[in-house]
Amino acid sequence: MSGPLERVVKEELGLSVLKGTGVSGGGCINQGTAYDTDKYGRVFIKVNSKSGARTMFEGEFASLEALAAPGIVRVPKPIKVIDQPSGGAALVMEYVEMGGGLHKYAAQLGEQLARLHLHNGSLESAARMAESNVHKLEGGPHYVGKFGFHVNTCCGYLEIDNTWRDNWQEFYANMIENHEGDRQARELWNKVLPKLPRFFDGVDIKPAIVHGDLWGGNASENNEGPLIFDPASLYGHSEYDLGISYLFGGFSGKFYEAYHKIFTTQAQHILQSGNHTTIRITTTI
C-alpha cells in the first residue's frame, strides 16, 4: 500500500498505528496486505484502482454483514470502505488466519451453508405472528420476502443489478437481461425466457441469503473451523450458490452430502412446524 493511502486509512479509522506485517495476498481482481493497528488489532486491506472499485467493495461490505448476521457461518468482519487518493478504493476488514483451502471442515461448512440458506425462510412464521400481534416485534431479524439486495454487488468485475423483485424467475431473468452475451447465447436465451416460469411451476421459492460467488477459492479454514469470504450476496434461490460451486469447483463430496442432509431435514421440520413454506430440495451431488 502506498504512503498516501496509509495516511488516509489512519485518518479515516482514527488510528495511531498502522504497521505492515509483511503478509499479503490477492487474486486476479484485488490485492491485499495485513496491518497491525492500535484500535482494531490486525486488519486486512484490499485495494483496487479501477473506477468501479467503490461499488464492488461497498457490495462486499454489505454482503459480509448480511452473511454474518444470522451467526451461522464465519466471515471476516468488514470495517470500512475508503477511497484511494490516486483513484479506486480500499476495503478494510478483520484479518482472519486461513489455511490452504477447505479440507478438515468441508462437511461442517456444508451444514452451515444449508442452515444459512434456510434461515430467512424460518423467519416467515415469526413475521406472520408479528403481523397479527397487537404488540409488533421491534428490532431483531425480519423475514425478507423479495428477491434482490439493498445494494448492487459484483461477481468479479461483473456488477449485479440487485433491484428487488417479487419472485425468483423475474429477478433471475432481469439479471441475465442486463448482461449482454454473444449472439448465439442471446438467441438461445430469447427462446428460454418465455418458458422460464415452467421450471418453477408449483414451486414456491423463498428468498435465501446466498454468498453469490461460492467456489473453492472463496472458502478456507483455520483451527476454529471453516470460513467464507469475497462474497457477492443477494436474496435469491438457494441453488444459486450450489450452481456456482458446481461450475467452478473446489468442494468435496462431503460438503454436498452434509449440505443436502441438513437442508432436507430442516426443510421438513419447517413444514411440520406449521410454516406452509414450499421448499425445493435438490438431492443431486
Question: DSSP letters along 62-89, please?
Answer: HHHHHHHTTSSS--PPEEEEEE-TTSSE
Contact 219, 109 (CB under 8 A): yes
Question: Tell me, what's the pLDDT at 171?
Answer: 94
CATH of region 106-272: 3.90.1200.10
Residue range(s) in the chain whose domain bears CATH number 3.90.1200.10: 106-272
Rounded distance between C-alpha atoms, residue 105 and residue 112, angstroms: 11
Q: 101-140, pLDDT tens digit by residue?
A: 899 999 999 999 999 999 998 888 666 666 665 555 556 6
Question: Tell me, what's the pLDDT at 276?
Answer: 45
Q: Options 3.30.70.1140, 3.90.1150.10, 3.30.200.20, 3.90.580.10; which CATH number does 3-94 get?
A: 3.30.200.20
Q: What length does the chain have? A: 285
Cα–Cα distances (Å) from 272 to 114, 116, 117, 267, in that order, read 18, 19, 18, 9
Catalytic residues: 213
Question: Tell me, what's the pLDDT at 38?
Answer: 96
Helix (H) or strand (E) holding 35: strand 31-37
Residue found under cell 423483485? 165
Q: 18-76, pLDDT tens digit by residue?
A: 999 988 877 678 889 999 999 999 999 999 999 899 999 999 999 999 999 999 999 99
Close Cβ partners of 16 (under 8 Å, ≥ 6 residues apart) = 10, 38, 39
Contact 40, 32 (CB under 8 A): no
Residue range(s) in the chain whose domain bears CATH number 3.30.200.20: 3-94
Q: 140-196, pLDDT tens digit by residue?
A: 678 999 999 999 999 888 899 999 999 999 999 888 877 666 788 888 888 888 998
Question: Tell me, what's the pLDDT at 53?
Answer: 95
